[in-house]
Structure 1
């Protein structure tokens, strides 16, 4: 009887074959079996050895990848990756964080009880994912070895051999990983890509947390002192007649700092302002999670006019607009206590590094606002932009332009007579402002305008120092020229007292 054509040659040795040749043939045959089993298992693991799993707020892909030295690697696109030499073996554990699940991230941000247990939750999620991956990888490895063995040898009995060999190899790999497990390596990862600076960044983050506790405690006293300081300033000569003026509070670049929100609330109450004008960057990233913090805007009790900064997204603007007292300007205008205010957003959104280069420049954005103003029956008293270059096309179009972005207060008069007032950072540049020796001061300005003409008559510049500048100051400046002893006109600032932190 002849053997079927699709069957592999019989492995039985020929009669009378020499013992040495017999052993050689046996060794070659088993070598072929091992190679096929290894190749099949590797192919199966490469194709099927991965699972999709939630890890904390992230959706992740967890997989085993053939590698000569084992270990683990966490990929954080587009920032880079970190590798840990945690164990030896032919398989490396890869964890790729693909995206943030907005619902889980929002739950973490809004529920302190969930946030407190996030480390344990991430550990549990990762452990569950690795356990599921281990079973998936074992099945993929054994299945790959069986399939390739059938294809190469075309004998069903060879599949049993492949099953035994692949199971033995996978068990050995698991045993080697367990025997060489090095938990201390987890504290010494190797960074690649943008994460090469992770050590210094983590150090800065830890320093920020430590400094923020002291900073916030200091600011609680400082913000409370606004009331006392205002009482002192109110005794200064009111030669500009601010008591009969419309008072509007100019804030900018809060950058999600709750101390900045506290300051706004205190000034609104103590200075009895008629409305708040925010020239942008109320958040840092423009993400939906950050928008959960805007309840303080609705609690101010006065109109809140807002334009987007380069850190604010369209989602940010929509969330601000949902507050009952808020108006978001986008080449549009509104009226507060008889004062007309127009505004345009920053054309850029810088947190989105993948966005295409904007087609509209800052000057073009300012020109569009100027074109809109030209359609109004009367020019507004105030125009709001985020970045100072947007103000250039508005010179001579409106008497006053408010801006921010630079985190440094500056007041100047442009060539055609328009006054440009650039606010500092009402949020002290957010947490980034704590990275230096002295945190960035918190600043805002109360504007006093004539209720009939809308002209700016005076303004109070309020500054709260940080850890290195622990005082509150208010400086009142009258815009109208005041006579001096020699009869020459001059602008006269009145410096309010400075209150040291108790």
Structure 2
């Protein structure tokens, strides 16, 4: 039968559709072939990504071990980082950072406890320190091996677990575990091949240790001498043992609801490092408030006062302050401008559960050439002390009184158990009589620029006081000193007051004078700057 004229367009349309379908099918086939070509690459990327994630998680969660290093019990771990180094955590002192190696791993040591007898033996006997040096180095080496094995095991296990969850095949799971092992081994190898033993003498510091930059000792070239390296490592442990043994003493009163921690500072005298020192102590000892007994500035000029007072903004806790004889009205105004600063002048306030009274030094004597007569100055100081006494009596008592010059405290003897002061640039703990103990702080600013003129440079000094939250009685105090210009020591002396010697404001109402002064106080030493 002949094809009609009308059938030709239909055949042409079907043919065109068939050609279009063939072209689309061909393009899909080419795309499928191209994808199959890239598929191994995508799988490889996925395997590497999963393995890297496993390495990071394995290191964070499992690469750790307990280690004894000399007198210390430490927790040693390996953490991922973008630059290789060693971090030594020494709570509450801060951190020591050593540029010890390259690579993506950080070795971290945290000191958890100290064998006090061994530490004291190292401090007291230099020969024992030499004998211990090789042992300390061996302890470190053995611990490094253990933490490396722990890192390899934890990352491999993480690779197997995560690989099984992502890919759900035995082969790819095994590949993830193997790749995690290889990646970790490569990172450990990079660290091992780039170890710099001389880094032990080139530390960086964080926290309180920032203010004792030679606690490890003077920088030396160790080269590859193992014995020299071991001895220096031993010296490092010895240098921090005494401080750490005291700082971790079980008699320390923790930051809890039963104890109020007060940081006592005084006489910053424009020292630019003083504010950082105060901030470090405040953070490391978790204090509840700071008590500053004045002489923040030197000349009290408006510019000096406003610029230097900015440092108080670094402190995150209430800051109770009284004016010193080097502080002007500009200093008072500058300090008062900060919300967390409490300026006392004949006032009694409740701060963090402690009743604190304070009065300003009535003098402004920045220059020794322009001083009032000694008789007139003494009368001014005693009058201010009388004003403070009246404020305490009107309030019904106080736990602590704050003055700048300890001479001002004479009228409040028997009215308050603790008097904080400064001015002398020498720390003195003194029983003043009638149940009152005077605590004169050294210069937290090391006397500022005056220290450059002194034959015996001063240390930066401060104290942490521990008060009973129920009675307000002083339970203990830590005296902290950090090396002066040209010196390199850092020390902490803890004084725990026996319960029978603790004095609260309520005890003063029916006070009976003891035959001897409490054991934790001593006769004052006079030195004025």
TM-score, normalising length from structure 2? 0.47
Q: TM-score, normalised by structure 1?
A: 0.50
